[in-house]
Structure 1
Amino acid sequence: MQRRQFLQASALASTLLLVPKFLHALDRPETALAARLRDAPGGAARRLIVVQLGGGNDGLNTLVPYRNDLYYKARPTLALKEADGLLPLGDELALHPSMKGLKGLFDQGQVAICNAVGYPNPDRSHFRSMDIWQTGSGSEQLLSTGWLGRYLDSTCAGGAPAYQALELDDTLSLALKGATRNGLALKNPGKFHQLTQSRYLSALSQEKAAAPAGSELDYLYKTLAETASSADYLYDKSKIHTSTATYPNTDFGKSLKTTAELIGSGVESRVYYLALSGFDTHVRQHEQQSRLLGELSDGLAALAADLQKSNEWNNTLVMVFSEFGRRVTQNASNGTDHGTANNVFLLSGALRKLGLLNQPASLQDLDQGDLRYQLDFRSLYASILTDWLGADDKLVLGPGIEKLAGLV
């Protein structure tokens, strides 16, 4: 069988290139990474769930400065008012009316909010700005590896299976691609396992003996073997725990539920990556953003309750980000255009700092009509890597990034 024919014919082709380039033992009882994380601060293995809001969520109508006259002046029809059902978090800021689930978690001390998060010389292109966030780079850098991929590189030197980092999607984001280790992309364990039962896998297995060591076919076979091993592991584990919680009946809600079930089943994965798209609200923003923020809020509240029930919420940190915010002034289509700085939400049962962590960006001192960033997103990454995942942030992000002390 020709390698090209195999890749074209097999449904596994979209997944094969998402596993690590360097292959290790598949039957290791406990990985070096799992042992390291088990000894991390707090005494229990911790995990990170990253939620990406694709399209550039409007932070000003998510966390609303409802007592600021400049906000209402800039958005005469788009601004949200107290009469709209805003959910106050204090005297100056309130959550969008659709975010009752998140408001409940905030009141329980399980949410921290960072205002005006961004980076120097911001880029307003969806693709470029998302690359910057996913690689953990400066706007002047072009990196081919993601910050979580480099985290895997730095912590999996002793060998670890591909499922240490999972993306609940059909394709793997740049964020989870490292130089020597990658995460694994799958919609759910059942479908992923079914793909690995392809007859092409059996055909390739019969050819492995004839494959010269180090050849493309040898590499492909080993890659398939690790993919199949990971699929078997995840499928078998997923049978252990089935969630009875009610999640939004959407792709995002299903991904959250699958994540909770994998965690509840004892899967070793330490990073989960999910996305909720549709936030590019140039036109008629009210309806679209309200629906999406409601889906986000309800889904996160269900996840928190689900993981509390399985005693895993205190070992879990959720980070919610978007590639940029929107411009302060509304456009002529009752929407908003691409902006810069935005808010980032952190959720956990074990946060050390709670509530609003810093002041919102000034609406009086703008940068060409955009919010000025106050907090570099890489400082958040550095804190999460060091204080939550027990990694060396300098190996992942490079030197010169100051982390936020005492955050997690």
Structure 2
Amino acid sequence: MQRRRFLQSSALASTLLLVPKFLHALDRPEARLATMLRDAPAGQARRLVVVQLSGGNDGLNTLIPYRNDLYYKARPTLALQATDGLLPLSDDLALHPAMKGLKSLFDQGQVAICNAVGYPNPDRSHFRSMDIWQSGSGSDQTLSTGWLGRYLDNSCAGCALPYQALEIDDTLSLALKGASRNGLALKNPGKFHQLTQSRYLSRLSQEKAAASGSELDYLYKTLAETASSADYLYDKSKIHNSTATYPNTDFGRNLKTTAELVNSGVESRVYYLALSGFDTHVQQRGRQAQLLGELSDGLAALAADLQKSGEWSNTLVMVFSEFGRRVTQNASNGTDHGTANNVFLLSGALRKAGLLNPAASLADLDQGDLRYQLDFRSLYASILTDWLGADASLVLGAGVAPLAGLLG
């Protein structure tokens, strides 16, 4: 049987595109977070939940320098005022008023914020900058595998099956694609299981007897692993149904699915979610307020859900965006693509919470953009080493050091 015939005959290739997701890899050749994160409860594996804010969230109107005259000068109509109901975190910085849920977690010592996170020679293209963040590369590199995919390849003990890293979406991001192992993308365990039970799988298994060749063997192995993972996730998903109240949005439902899988005992080490819509070139205030409220309420619901089940202390949530926005507002009451941004870390096991480093200076800009202070790859290295217990050098290369002198 020819490979083309195989792909054409598979319903999986034409619906959730499961086969291509896995085939992508075939042609692609001191004080650390340990001082910040308490040990997980005995016998419980730690997990990482990554939340991607797609489009480039405006960090300056998320974490607001509300006593800085330069901020108000750069944003005469877009800047948020103290009278707007800001949520102060310090004498100088406040959260957006829509983020009350996150502020409550901050006050409980369950949020840490890294300011001015970025990388040298930043790229302002959505696609290229997201590739950089998802692959863990430098701006002068192009990698075909993701940082979490390489974690699965090299450092995740017992992570042979794809359900060890789950993206709660219909397609798999670069971040979860490795050279030999990939994560799995699904929106709903029940529908995903139903798809893998389709009549096409039995037809394909019958045709397997007439097939030969290592590539076809790999395809069938992939389908078998996918079906096995679907069975596992479907069976587990029936164990626990969350009664927590999440935002009635796609992102809220994805967070609820994540919590249900965690609370059902799914062994996944990584969950990956995205909230889109942050490319706010026009009329930013209303749109960003809606999105930040959805993010904050959703994360607060997730934390409460996992606290109730005792799973919050071995969960770390990282929230990032591919870049920030320009310091000066544009003529459309929005902001254009910028550079450095804040990254939020949430967990019930933070040793050191709060603002982990100073905000970027508004008096020392790089051609109108914030200068980065922390390289995002050092943050990745700390998470890999000190939270997931991985060898960061196998994932990011020998030249990337974990954060030192910042989190202790």
Structure 1: 5+ residue stretches without partners: 23-39
Q: Which residue of 1 aligns with 2:29?
A: none
SS in 1 for 2:275: strand
Q: Which residue of 2 aligns with 1:61?
A: 61
TM-score, L = length of structure 2: 0.92
Aligned mates of 1:58, 1:199 — CA distance in 2: 47
User: Relative to structure 1, is the Cα distance of residues 41 and 315 closer, same or farther in structure 2, using a 3 angstrom cutoff?
Assistant: closer
CA shift for structure 1 position 5: 4.3
CA shift for structure 1 position 141: 0.7
CA shift for structure 1 position 223: 1.3
User: Relative to structure 1, is the Cα distance of residues 11 and 251 closer, same or farther in structure 2, using a 3 angstrom cutoff?
Assistant: farther
Aligned mates of 1:72, 1:9 — CA distance in 2: 60
CA shift for structure 1 position 296: 0.2
Q: Which residue of 2 aligns with 1:208?
A: 208
Q: Aligned pair count? A: 391
**Deviation digits for residues 63-115 of structure 1 (CA, Å, limit 9, x no counterpart):** 00000000000000000001001000011000001000000000000000000
Q: Which residue of 2 aligns with 1:168?
A: 168
Q: Which has the higher contact order (CA 8 A, sep 6+)?
A: 2
2:56·2:324 contact (CA, 8 Å) conserved in 1? yes
Aligned mates of 2:196, 2:5 — CA distance in 1: 17
Q: Which residue of 2 aligns with 1:347?
A: 346
2:232 is matched by which residue type in structure 1?
A: Y
Q: Which residue of 2 aligns with 1:31?
A: none
Q: How does 1:9-408 map to 2 (within 5 A)?
A: 10-13=10-13, 14-19=17-22, 43=42, 44-156=44-156, 160-212=160-212, 214-405=213-404, 407=407
Deviates more, 1:69-78 or 1:9-18: 9-18
User: Relative to structure 1, is the Cα distance of residues 356 and 153 closer, same or farther in structure 2, using a 3 angstrom cutoff?
Assistant: same
Aligned mates of 1:349, 1:85 — CA distance in 2: 27
1:290 is matched by which residue type in structure 2?
A: A
Aligned mates of 2:319, 2:116 — CA distance in 1: 14
User: Relative to structure 1, is the Cα distance of residues 357 and 159 closer, same or farther in structure 2, using a 3 angstrom cutoff?
Assistant: closer
**Deviation digits for residues 318-345 of structure 1 (CA, Å, limit 9, x no counterpart):** 0000000000000000000000000000
1:335 is matched by which residue type in structure 2?
A: G
Aligned mates of 2:319, 2:187 — CA distance in 1: 20
1:18·1:183 contact (CA, 8 Å) conserved in 2? no
Aligned mates of 2:175, 2:62 — CA distance in 1: 25
**Deviation digits for residues 292-319 of structure 1 (CA, Å, limit 9, x no counterpart):** 0000000000000000011000000000
1:165·1:184 contact (CA, 8 Å) conserved in 2? yes
Q: Which runs of 4+ in 1 moved over 4 A?
A: 156-159, 405-408
Aligned mates of 1:281, 1:306 — CA distance in 2: 31
Aligned mates of 2:79, 2:369 — CA distance in 1: 16
Percent identity between matched residues is 84
CA shift for structure 1 position 246: 0.5
2:40·2:313 contact (CA, 8 Å) conserved in 1? no
Structure 2: 5+ residue stretches without partners: 26-38
User: Relative to structure 1, is the Cα distance of residues 205 and 192 closer, same or farther in structure 2, using a 3 angstrom cutoff?
Assistant: same
Q: Which residue of 1 aligns with 2:35?
A: none
SS in 1 for 2:76: coil
SS in 2 for 1:321: strand
Deviates more, 1:268-277 or 1:215-224: 215-224
2:115·2:343 contact (CA, 8 Å) conserved in 1? yes
CA shift for structure 1 position 244: 0.3
**Deviation digits for residues 139-188 of structure 1 (CA, Å, limit 9, x no counterpart):** 11111110000000112576621100000111100000111111011111
CA shift for structure 1 position 20: 7.8
Aligned mates of 1:42, 1:392 — CA distance in 2: 22
2:50·2:318 contact (CA, 8 Å) conserved in 1? yes
**Backbone CA RMSD of aligned residues:** 1.9
1:41·1:387 contact (CA, 8 Å) conserved in 2? no
1:401 is matched by which residue type in structure 2?
A: V
